[in-house]
């Protein structure tokens, strides 16, 4: 019985959601390669990249699908390596369900902020990855006496600052997507916390949840309003 329980625990500790997300983006990239190429603008739009006119016309699923779409092999490779190393750590710490929610909610916030303030066609897991970086920093603040978590949080703080700095000097990078992803990651990490928390922390969770949804509504309205003004 002890051996069986140990095997069950080992199975649960595997980062299967990280592997699933990696598989999805690789399969989509292969499909794009054989459908016109991942750098072809028409192929990107066809497979679900963030494309503001389509979102305005009701294709709101484009606020999620860009997470799994990449523009060129280098883009896929860098984000896949980052997802593998970052995702395997964060999924084991948070658990598969909470990890998946943080990843997807970060990507959603990043894409909806990009929709609000950028007209460019965009895609990539970076929105979600910035969310994971930010969630790791939140984790560091929650466990100030855990050396391993503190070290991880410091490392990811450096990475997120460096990535924002690089993005600031590059017009090809969707900085609004990255900023929104980081914001989504912070808020998601705050309200998707351990259920065994104090009353004060429960208030913090509710506040983070409210801020998340209010932010999504504000960014969505901004995007639709900007699109409306562009028609005139």
Encode pLDDT of 49-72 as tens digits.
999 999 999 999 999 999 999 999
pTM across the whole model: 0.87
Residue of 137, 180, 184, 179 lying closest to 158 (CA atoms)? 137
Q: To the nearest whole number, what is the mean pLDDT of the chain?
A: 85
More confident residue, 119 or 8: 119
Q: How many domains does the chain have?
A: 1
CATH number of the domain encompassing residue 51: 1.20.1540.10
Q: What is the pLDDT of residue 175?
A: 87
Report the pLDDT value the prediction gives residue 155, as an integer from 0 to 100: 75
- Decide if pLDDT at 154 tops 70: yes
Q: CA 108, CA 188: separation in Å to the nearest integer?
A: 11
Q: For 178-224, what is each residue's pLDDT tens digit?
A: 999 999 999 999 998 764 454 556 788 889 999 999 999 999 999 99
Hey, which residues are catalytic here?
126, 178
Q: Assess whether pLDDT exceeds 60 at residue 121.
A: yes
Give the model confidence (pLDDT) of 125-147 as tens digits. Answer: 999 999 999 998 888 877 777 76
The domain of 25 spans 2-230
For residue 220, what are its two tokens?
Answer: 């969505």
Inter-CA distances, 15 with 144, 146, 193, 201, Å: 25, 22, 18, 27
């Amino acid at each position: 019985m002890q051996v069986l329980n140990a095997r069950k625990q080992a199975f649960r500790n595997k980062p299967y959601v990280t592997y699933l997300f990696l598989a999805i983006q690789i399969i989509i990239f292969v499909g794009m390669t054989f459908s016109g190429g991942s750098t072809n603008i028409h192929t990107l739009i066809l497979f679900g990249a963030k494309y503001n006119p389509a979102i305005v016309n009701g294709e709101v699923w484009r606020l999620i699908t860009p997470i799994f779409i990449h523009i060129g092999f280098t883009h896929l490779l860098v984000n896949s390596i980052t997802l593998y190393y970052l995702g395997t750590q964060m999924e084991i710490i948070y658990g598969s369900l909470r990890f998946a929610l943080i990843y997807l909610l970060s990507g959603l916030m990043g894409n909806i902020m990009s929709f609000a303030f950028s007209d460019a066609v965009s895609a990539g897991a970076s929105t979600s990855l910035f969310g994971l970086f930010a969630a790791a920093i939140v984790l560091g603040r929650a466990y100030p006496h855990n050396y391993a978590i503190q070290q991880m949080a410091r490392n990811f703080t450096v990475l997120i600052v460096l990535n924002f700095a690089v993005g600031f000097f590059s017009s090809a990078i969707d900085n609004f997507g990255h900023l929104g992803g980081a914001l989504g990651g912070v808020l998601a990490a705050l309200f998707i916390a351990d259920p065994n928390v104090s009353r004060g922390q429960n208030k913090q969770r509710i506040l983070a949840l409210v801020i998340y949804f209010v932010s999504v509504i504000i960014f969505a309205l901004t995007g639709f309003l900007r699109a409306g003004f562009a028609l005139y």
